[in-house]
A and B are shown apart, each in its own frame.
Chain A
């Protein structure tokens, strides 16, 4: 049999390529919905890190990568430690909007990440912001979302996309 270097392109492959292309094109309508978190509430959620963390600003995409576990280390190598509020808290609602997931999708997502070996465990869900504050104090790589009204003296709040909580353009509302 002579050597064949060219793949047979039949109708079915052509249809598959067309479907894939159309699906990709239709994603452009989704892009407009996924830029920033928008919530018509008056509450503001702050991004808080451990006091030893010198970070002062995080972009929304980086924040999304942190809370999806795609970004697992701070620059310099310190492991990121995620702390989230338990279901029912407003911070949880903002987190899910940031990630574009429902509660069940969030749980399934982390179960899958652990199963793939991409995470050691689902982020710890804490029942109060006081517990989040305690965790932030203890772990150098800790990061959490906290209702800005519950931010206490001594907690290190970082800007998001260059905006402080409460400023116009701040995305975590």
Chain B
């Protein structure tokens, strides 16, 4: 026991000697410790005195109250005792999460079409690793936190590049105003807000083509740098929410045949969305958004600009193991100082149901881009995908997916995609 006390004393002496320039004498140290113990005793006594003596189970003071919940008073002392703070490790510091995948994909057509990640289109089949995702979050206070998502993407010939997919400073003022600043995924539709790079979160092995990242041949400006605001709008049981974004998307997307890079040279976009999550149907979300920007079409001249408007409507239901996603898009490109207008309607619907560890799914997607517009490399294409996801554990899953894509003036495209996803 004496040895134990001596060891603690030596430890304290060492610590204090590093904290102060002039090392205290033993007597001073003992005095400091006595003062600290006294202060702690006073604090304990004060906390004990605060405890109300009334038993709550009487419920005598519990009167019904309307929907709004009053604010609790903030007490000065918000520092938990050591034992609990160790348990509540989320209070301070960084948190890392990792997400990875290993894919095998084979197509029945050898006519080159944009592959994703390391997939070498036109061959019998390829293995590739997709995105290796690292999510870093740090809590700054009860209302503020920082999030960053770093993806290591496989490119051609097993080359890898690092992409800071997202870096966000988030501040929750209250439920009606939540702010984010930095690089975010645009809230065009549901999918882009809900699913990010990590394939782990997706039921399917890939994103719907309409929601594919622009850098992988997708149609939409999926990422931007700027500011985003969201929150609830007082609406009773309707559960109305808003989202508003203003930023620069500056998208460069490869054409689907992989031969050209299309620099849209975007201006600043504005995106406004509304959605409801009604209390009377938990799990349901219905909403829509309107996105507007100005982009360039360098294929028609160095100064040719056109207005880009993207209208979205979506219905989502996720509850009791059922996942139903359905989104429709209308993309309109109108050239400035011209009557040229190109319209691209698109949609996808996806449904799945969890049976223990197995989740079979079905998806149907459709894109019909106007010929001559900036998206005409897509033209008309549609078709079903079906597959199954099997969750070995809460952290490892395997997916198998078959795709059939009908393409205008080109042979149909059939594909098999298997994917192992994991998180850690």
Binding site for B on A (CB under 8 A): 1-5, 7-8, 10, 12-13, 16, 19-20, 23-24, 27, 30-31, 33-34, 49-59, 61-62, 64, 70-79, 81, 100-102, 104-105, 107-108, 111-112, 114-117, 120-122, 124, 126, 131, 134-135, 138-141, 148, 151, 153-159, 162, 164-165
- Least CB distance, B379 to chain A, in whole angstroms: 13
Instruction: Name the one of B54, B277, B282 contacting A153, with C-beta atoms under 8 angstroms.
Output: B54
Binding site for A on B (CB under 8 A): 51-57, 59, 61-65, 67-75, 78, 80-81, 84, 87-88, 90, 95, 97, 135, 137, 139, 142-143, 145, 147, 149, 166, 168, 170, 172-175, 178, 180, 193-194, 196, 198, 201, 232, 237, 277, 279-284, 315, 317, 319-322, 324, 326, 328, 330, 334, 339-343, 345, 347, 349, 351, 354, 364, 366, 368, 370, 372, 382, 391, 394, 423
Assess A3 versus B341: contact at CB under 8 Å? Given A51-B52, A73-B172. yes
19 contacts between A and B (CB under 8 A): A1-B340, A8-B345, A23-B317, A34-B283, A52-B73, A57-B62, A73-B174, A77-B71, A101-B319, A107-B394, A111-B201, A114-B95, A115-B196, A117-B170, A120-B145, A124-B87, A138-B78, A141-B72, A154-B54
Residues of chain B with a CB closer than 8 A to A100's CB: 282-283, 319-320
- Least CB distance, A161 to chain B, in whole angstroms: 9
A70, A138, A157, A159: which has the most chain B beta carbons within 10 Å? A138
Q: Is the CB of A117 within 8 A of B72?
A: no
Residues of chain B with a CB closer than 8 A to A24's CB: 315
Q: Is the CB of B137 within 8 A of A120?
A: yes
Docked pose: A71 CA to B279 CA in angstroms: 13
Assess A114 versus B317: contact at CB under 8 Å? Given A55-B70, A141-B72, A155-B56. no
Which residue of A is nearest B230, CB measured? Answer: A118
Assess A115 versus B175: contact at CB under 8 Å? Given A52-B75, A54-B72, A57-B64. no
B54, B64, B173, B193: which has the most chain A beta carbons within 10 Å? B64
Q: Is the CB of B382 within 8 A of A12?
A: yes
Assess A1 versus B315: contact at CB under 8 Å? Given A8-B345, A30-B281, A78-B72. no
- Least CB distance, B417 to chain A, in whole angstroms: 21
Residues of chain A with a CB closer than 8 A to B280's CB: 31
Instruction: Name the one of B84, B198, B281 contacting A34, with C-beta atoms under 8 angstroms.
Output: B281
Which residue of B is nearest A60, CB measured? Answer: B279
> With contacts A117-B168, A162-B64 known, what are 9 further pairs, Cβ within 8 A?
A7-B330, A13-B345, A27-B281, A77-B173, A104-B394, A116-B196, A154-B51, A159-B59, A164-B62
Docked pose: A139 CA to B72 CA in angstroms: 10
Q: Is the CB of A117 within 8 A of B281?
A: no
- Least CB distance, B191 to chain A, in whole angstroms: 12
Q: Is the CB of A114 within 8 A of B137?
A: yes
Docked pose: A108 CA to B147 CA in angstroms: 18
Assess A16 versus B71: contact at CB under 8 Å? Given A117-B168, A121-B139, A126-B87. no
- Least CB distance, A46 to chain B, in whole angstroms: 8
Q: Is the CB of A27 within 8 A of B284?
A: yes
Instruction: Name the one of B87, B90, B368, B391 contacting A131, with C-beta atoms under 8 angstroms.
Output: B87
Q: Is the CB of A56 within 8 A of B341?
A: no
Docked pose: A30 CA to B62 CA in angstroms: 33
B73, B97, B142: which has the most chain A beta carbons within 10 Å? B142
Docked pose: A154 CA to B52 CA in angstroms: 5
Q: Is the CB of A2 within 8 A of B339?
A: yes
Assess A116 versus B73: contact at CB under 8 Å? Given A3-B341, A153-B55. no
- Least CB distance, A147 to chain B, in whole angstroms: 12
Which residue of B is nearest A12, CB measured? Answer: B366
Q: Is the CB of B87 within 8 A of A75?
A: no
Docked pose: A156 CA to B70 CA in angstroms: 14
Q: Is the CB of A55 within 8 A of B65?
A: yes
- Least CB distance, B16 to chain A, in whole angstroms: 28
Residues of chain B with a CB closer than 8 A to A124's CB: 87-88, 90
Residues of chain A with a CB closer than 8 A to B71's CB: 53-54, 74-78
